[in-house]
Amino acid sequence: MSRLKKFVIFLLVLVIAFPVGVYGYFYTKLSAIHDPSIDNTILNSKDFKNQNGITNILLLGTDARPGEGNSRSDSMMILTVDSKNNSIKLTSLARDTYVDIPGHGKQKLTHAYVYGKSNLLIETIENNFEIDIQNYATVDFLSFMHIIDLLGGVSVNVAADEIRELNKFIPETYKWDENPDKGDMQLIETSGEQTLNGYQALAFSRIRKNDSAMERDRRQRDVIQGLIKGVKELPPTQYPKLMNTILPYVKTNMKPNSIFALGLRVLKIGNLDLKQFEFPIDDGVHSTGGLYGKAGWVLRFDPDSLQILHDFIFEDIEYTK
């Protein structure tokens, strides 16, 4: 029996078993991660189907280390579920993008999360990029490592010139890793396609000095692509354990019914190979990076390049903000 058939059966069992509490178990688990602070953006199951086939979810990876308080949004991505074109897209937004933050003037995009958490960051993205963000989810670094270890690692391609910087970050991420079975610290010795464990993958996604911020975003997308592939191959019997691992580290404004509805849409699409994009476009034409006044090093984008971003996310679907 194919994994897809197993998963369909698994979902049917959830629905049929509602009277004995199985569906209620998952509903309760998902309810615990609901953040009602921006409920005005929530769509119910019916709304998903009527949203011109497009749902945009802001994914935030926060950079609060163990023992720290305030954090910045270390990674910002727009996950697009496109039911009309049967595709899933992931757009990285550079942290250093120079934007107008409501009430705070022009600064780096990542500062919006510091000033006003998800609410202000979403408002900033909508105003500057003219993209309607219906939902968001935040995940912290600890869950990043736990999920990867649960999946048995994540497969990525490590370039030869990335090994040195990767190994500089590994001692720090190893120290954060609370997995009692993590064993002795292991550095990366060879380049090429390989399976990284949780603390190694986190270190890989944090490499900064080798190249541009865009390449750092690309590494983060590669890790997420590997995560999705790993979840896709995970036996359905492991889903409860996966939920127990990740949910303590997740907050979202999506209610359980909306999460189930979105999951069914993704299942229907079937193809989980992500289409990837990054904004601003780092081609020397549509954006300019450099020191800019008190803002420090920032990335300024050509407003006309927003059309390219919209074309990637919405394709042939007419978009109205």
Distance CA 82, CA 55 (A): 7
pLDDT of 28 over the 50 cut: yes
pLDDT of 21 over the 90 cut: no
Distance CA 213, CA 81 (A): 25
Distance CA 257, CA 44 (A): 7
pLDDT of 50 reads 35
Dihedral over alpha carbons 275, 280, 284, 286 (to 10 degrees): 100
Distance CA 273, CA 296 (A): 36
pLDDT of 16 reads 43
pLDDT of 210 over the 60 cut: no
Q: CATH 3.40.630.190 occupies which residues in the chain?
A: 32-314
The tokens describing 271, both together, are 């193809």
CA dihedral sign of residues 304, 307, 313, 319: positive
pLDDT in tens, 219-260: 877 887 787 777 777 787 887 887 787 788 788 888 888 888
Distance CA 72, CA 302 (A): 25
Query: Is 32-314 a domain of CATH 3.40.630.190?
Result: yes
Distance CA 125, CA 102 (A): 10
pLDDT of 135 over the 80 cut: yes
pLDDT of 317 reads 62
